[in-house]
């Protein structure tokens, strides 16, 4: 699981609690990499870290068919970019992918950047230019590994996308879902009414967050079938 934080913040510690709720319900284990962050380590440092870690797991004997990759916001971008980089290099891909409010278009061409600007309390269009400058100022913002919404979506694994309909990145999710469908892939898009950016993070505080987390776990159990044996989560307690 690749944590969010605008490519410049966040860590395994900030996201451990939310991810623990997912894996307890799904009956899985999780690895949260402490990948390099901008501005000290701009693109493609984080992508190099994520692909290296995935390959190390496979080389150590982990079957890709038993693996999922996921992430939120910038981590959702990184998860999708990792899949694209692995696919293009001919690596075996994980069985499935799940994305929470992924930030997939750093060029900010989605209509929701304007139409949802007054609704999303968590992420604002005015915040984007400085973040993008620090993360990837020397690269084309429509490079598929920078902005995966511009990628050829052929050959991607089954993907779950959860997004709030009040967030400025709504269009990023809907456009990716369209791309995967047009490429003949398997995608499940869940648009949550009146929810904002990465609302799942508020597990233990909002019923919508709890329901969304349950939905992610159910999706993973469906993808892996009998391999996953859910554990009863300790409700509303820090992991």
pLDDT in tens, 60-114: 999 999 999 999 999 999 999 999 999 999 999 999 999 999 999 999 998 898 8
Under DSSP, the state recorded for 31 is -
The contacts of residue 70 (CB under 8 Å, 6+ apart) are: 1, 2, 22, 76, 79, 97, 98, 99, 100, 216
> Would residue 198 be called left, alpha or beta, if left means φ above 0 and alpha means ψ between -120 and 50 degrees?
left
In residues, how long is the chain? 239
Q: Is the dihedral of CA 181, 88, 102, 206 positive or negative?
A: positive
Its pTM surpasses 0.85:
yes
Question: What CA–CA distance (Å, rounded) separates 169 from 163?
Answer: 8
Q: So what's the architecture of 12-227 in CATH?
A: 3-Layer(aba) Sandwich (3.40)
Name residues whose C-beta falls within 8 Å of residue 234's C-beta, 6 or more positions apart in sequence: 24
- pLDDT band at 225; cut points 50, 70, 90: confident
Q: What is the pLDDT of residues 20-32, one digit of tens each?
A: 999 999 999 999 9
pLDDT value, residue 233: 43
Which residues are known catalytic residues? 73, 167, 197
Q: Do the beta carbons of residue 226 and residue 98 sit within 8 Å?
A: no
pLDDT at 36: 98
Sign, CA torsion 114/118/122/124? positive
Pairing of strands 68-72, 159-164: unpaired
pLDDT in tens, 119-173: 877 788 888 999 999 999 889 999 999 999 999 999 999 999 999 999 999 999 9
């Amino acid at each position: 699981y690749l944590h969010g934080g605008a490519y410049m913040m966040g860590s395994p510690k900030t996201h451990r609690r939310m991810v623990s709720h997912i894996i307890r319900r799904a009956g899985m284990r999780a690895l949260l990499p402490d990948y390099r962050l901008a501005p000290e380590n701009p693109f493609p440092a984080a992508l190099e870290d994520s692909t290296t870690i995935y390959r190390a797991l496979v080389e150590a004997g982990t079957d890709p068919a038993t693996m999922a990759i996921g992430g939120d916001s910038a981590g959702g971008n990184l998860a999708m970019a990792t899949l694209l980089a692995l696919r293009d290099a001919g690596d075996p891909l994980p069985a499935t992918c799940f994305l929470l409010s992924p930030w997939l278009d750093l060029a900010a061409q989605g209509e929701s950047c304007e139409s949802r600007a007054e609704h999303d309390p968590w992420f604002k269009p005015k915040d984007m230019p400085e973040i993008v400058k620090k993360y990837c100022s020397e690269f084309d913002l429509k490079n598929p590994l920078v902005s995966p919404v511009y990628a050829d979506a052929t050959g991607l694994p089954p993907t779950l996308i959860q997004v709030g309909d009040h967030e400025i990145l709504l269009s990023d999710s809907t456009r990716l879902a369209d791309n995967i469908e047009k490429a003949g892939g398997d995608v499940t898009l869940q648009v949550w009414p009146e929810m904002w950016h990465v609302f799942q993070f508020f597990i233990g505080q909002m019923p919508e967050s709890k329901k969304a987390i349950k939905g992610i776990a159910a999706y993973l159990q469906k993808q892996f079938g009998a391999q996953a044996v859910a554990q009863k989560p300790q409700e509303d307690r820090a992991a």
